[in-house]
Amino acid sequence: MNNPGDKYPEFIPVINYKGSVNSFIIPYLHLISKGALISYPFLAQLKNNENNNNQHQINKFCEKIAVPLWIDSGSYGYIKYGGTIISNEYFSTLELNFKDEKLKVDPRDLLDLQEKFAQYAFTLDFPVIPEHSENTMEKHLRLSIKNAVYAVQNKRKKNLKLYASVPVVDNLNLFSQELTTLTSFPFDGIALGSLVPRKKDFSFVLEAVKIARKIFPDLPLHLFGFGKPEIMSQLKVDSVDSSTYIRLALSGKDIRGNKIIKQPSHLEQAHLALLNLASLTDHKLPLALNTSLIRFSQNNSKL
């Protein structure tokens, strides 16, 4: 884990099991990254799509990832796809309108999967956006705190690093008060969410990070969704994650958003994604990858 004073926080690339470019990147992650993040809905889809021996299918996929695996809840899909929050006395579940199906994210199922496959885990939080009312923001924050407490109290795998995921709301005093309640529990880190919609108000982002750092001076801080160099260099956090590196590559752009290939082929997309990732993790792309890239291009030339 990087120290807050380093040039960049440790960058954790977001991946999924779909897409030819993703499939190519995964075997080479160990050369240029110290971890990889995948969201619960993608693994749940893999499990649901493979009715025969679904546990084996998830094992098979995760074994390909030769770096520490981080698994989050995928609750960002609540903003993108919509969904329903269902609460009980102990925790709250999220039912996502995930593309053409309903996908349930239950804190118990999430923790169970994380304990089987992850080295780092994020609890189920409920995102907020600036358009939400103050009451909705407060509700999502408190339900997220409750889910974090449920997870840490029910964690069985001792070496699983569990991060409490907390959405940052407009009212930073309320955010600070609720975040402080987690100091009584043995979390391994704190993850701040719902700040991407706020990135244009960067002083707000920095203030939220400052508050969290003051409350948890000795725990790692993670920031969801930030993956551009000009922003990362200003963040006093330990780690960040994003899929920006690959989304830019698919459009023929480098990590700073410069259009360098008008209509990139699969080979060029894969190469760009790896170059973007290497830039964010401060690694050089191994020359040996060139042969693999050519082979990848040939195998996917008909796609």
pLDDT in tens, 237-291: 999 999 999 999 999 999 989 998 889 988 888 889 999 999 999 888 776 665 5
Cβ atoms within 10 Å, residue 254: 16
Mean per-residue pLDDT, 8-24? 82
- Structural domains of the chain, with CATH: 10-297 (3.20.20.105)
The pLDDT score that the predictor gives to residue 285 is 75
Residue 231 or residue 223, greater confidence = 223
The pLDDT score that the predictor gives to residue 292 is 53
297, pLDDT greater than 70: no
Tokens representing residue 84 in the block? 């329903």
CA separation for the pair 219, 65 (Å, rounded): 26
The pLDDT score that the predictor gives to residue 287 is 63
Average pLDDT score over the chain: 88
pLDDT in tens, 154-205: 999 999 999 999 999 999 999 999 999 999 999 999 999 999 999 899 999 9
CA separation for the pair 302, 279 (Å, rounded): 30
The pLDDT score that the predictor gives to residue 112 is 95
Contacts of 28 (CB under 8 A, 6+ apart): 274, 289, 292
Burial zone of 2 (CB within 10 Å; 0-12 exposed, 13-18 middle, 19+ buried):
middle
CA separation for the pair 232, 145 (Å, rounded): 26
50, pLDDT greater than 60: no
- Amino acid (one-letter) located at 86: I
Q: Residue 123, SS3?
A: coil
- From residue 220, give the alpha-carbon distance in Å to each of 106, 141, 192, 203, 227: 25, 20, 11, 21, 18
